[in-house]
Amino acid sequence: MDKIRIRGGHALKGIIPISGAKNAALPLMSAALLTEGELKLSNIPYLADVITMANLLVQHGTTLHMDEKSASATGFGRTIGLKAANITNFTAPYDLVRTMRASVLVLGPLLARFGQAKVSLPGGCAIGTRPIDLHLKALEQMGALIELADGYINAFVKGKLKGADITFDTVTVTGTENVMMAATLAEGETTLRNAAREPEVTDLANCLVKMGANIQGIGSGTLIIQGTKALHGAEHSVIADRIEAGTYAAAAAITGGDVELQGVSMQILGAVAEKFAEAGIDIKPTAKGVRVTRNNGLNGVDVMTQPYPGFPTDMQAQMMALMTVAKGASMITETIFENRFMHVPELTRMGAKINVHGSSAMIRGAKQLTGAEVMATDLRASVSLVIAALAAKGDTIINRVYHLDRGYERLEEKLSACGAEIERIKS
Ligand code: EPZ
């Protein structure tokens, strides 16, 4: 397994192009199953998870072609053409689903268009049990017959799914996406209440409308979808990745740098930009994106993760890394997942002072972190170690970097272009 070595102490200066959002690209790709027309997606990030989703769709019978290399000026972002005209296989197999939970996003489209789907239960992952009971309950309300056997979801509907009035018990991003996609081909009207409002959900809804879907309330917590007989192909560009942008903003801030993040807007950064400002980090809009500088000290601030538009759970680990060298104390509370503090013991090995009490972590600012050999456990925990390593004294070796490759396109290249001393050690 590859490792990454970082020698800390360099203030990041320069430009970082932000790639398309992983968590928008994955549902957008699965939306291709809703039509026999071609769905053309641009600004797709070249990530392990995107390749996994591509493999999953191809084994269902989708034809797919992807740019060999990026055609964009920044050198990032691929265009993918997907055509699900001849779907021959309705099973999403365990060996693919277990590597990427987002595979469950084929369930709604397959059920809506073909009346059947057999999808492996995703199982838990490092950050929690991550059930999909709310996806299944909503689809059953729309008339699906669902039984669980041998670790698989066997879903079937006689005729077409029926529109229903559905309230999600908790906000679920992929649950909202799965059911919204299913509702576009159901008979009648579906209302989704307590729907997720993440920008990636909005991006999917906007693409579905381009494909001929009828969706009201986009961007709000209540989506109203009028089912249609069929959808057609479309072209769509994936929105920028606000979590990647927030991650590099934290890297610029912790090193006292000055970095322009290109391709992302202040608006999409939302609560992250507000919280960073409270901590003393300057994020200002520029013609091509946002500029991140840290002129004076870093102050400890309190953070509570919430569904959008609150502070995103996918930025919790990165914020914690930043707070380990802030002045004063900060309290970070994780309200979305039950076990998303795996980065704590690793940051502690680098000299961070963190105490976890249930779903809250108290961080007391340390003068200086020191490099160590650490291990990545999940996508965002691993990148929090990169952020800490950039500011730490000496060398840090990060093991199991395949987690990073799932969500960050050419991370070493983007960071070393801004002066970071970072290299990948091939195993
Ligand atoms: C999406 O996961 C993202 N993944 C996650 O990003 C992100 O952390 C999460 O939303 C929250 O924002 C993709 O979009 C591909 P949820 P998802 O359903 O949809 C509970 C990353 O790092 N829940 O919104 O799986 C669940 O256990 C990844 O890029 C149920 O109880 O998350 C959790 O506590 C990690 N039953 C909460 O809801 C359900 O049926 C939110 O989960 C579904 C969810």
Give the tens place of pLDDT for each residue, 254-294: 999 999 999 999 999 999 999 999 999 999 999 999 999 98
Alpha-carbon separation of residue 5 from 1, 59, 146, 421, 424 (angstroms):
13, 37, 47, 8, 6
Nearest ligand 1 atom, CA 26: 15
State the CB neighbour count (10 A cutoff) for residue 178: 27
Predicted pLDDT at 374: 95
Res 296: pLDDT: 81
129-148 core/surface letters (b: 16 or more CB in 10 A; e: else): ebebebbbebbebbbbebee
Distance 174 CA to ligand 1 centre (A): 7
Neighbours of 107 (CB within 10 A): 28
Q: Residue 297: its pLDDT value, please? A: 87
The binding-site residues of ligand 1, defined as CB within 6 angstroms of any ligand atom, are 22-23, 26, 101-102, 128, 130-135, 170, 172-175, 313-314, 336-337, 379-380, 407
**Annotated active-site positions, please?**
125
| Residue 69: predicted pLDDT | 82
Can you give the pLDDT at residue 68?
81
- Closest atom of ligand 1 to CA, residue 128: 27
Question: Rounded to whole angstroms, what are the CA distances from 159 to 84, 113, 185, 293, 377?
Answer: 20, 10, 11, 57, 44
Main-chain dihedrals φ then ψ at residue 357, nearest 5 degrees: -125, 100
CA distance 112 to 107: 9
Round the average pLDDT of the chain to a whole number and report it.
Answer: 95
- Residue 130: the pLDDT is 78
How remote is the CA of residue 163 from the centroid of ligand 1, in Å?
24
Tally helices (H) and strands (E) across the chain.
14, 24
Low pLDDT (below 70) residues in the chain: 124
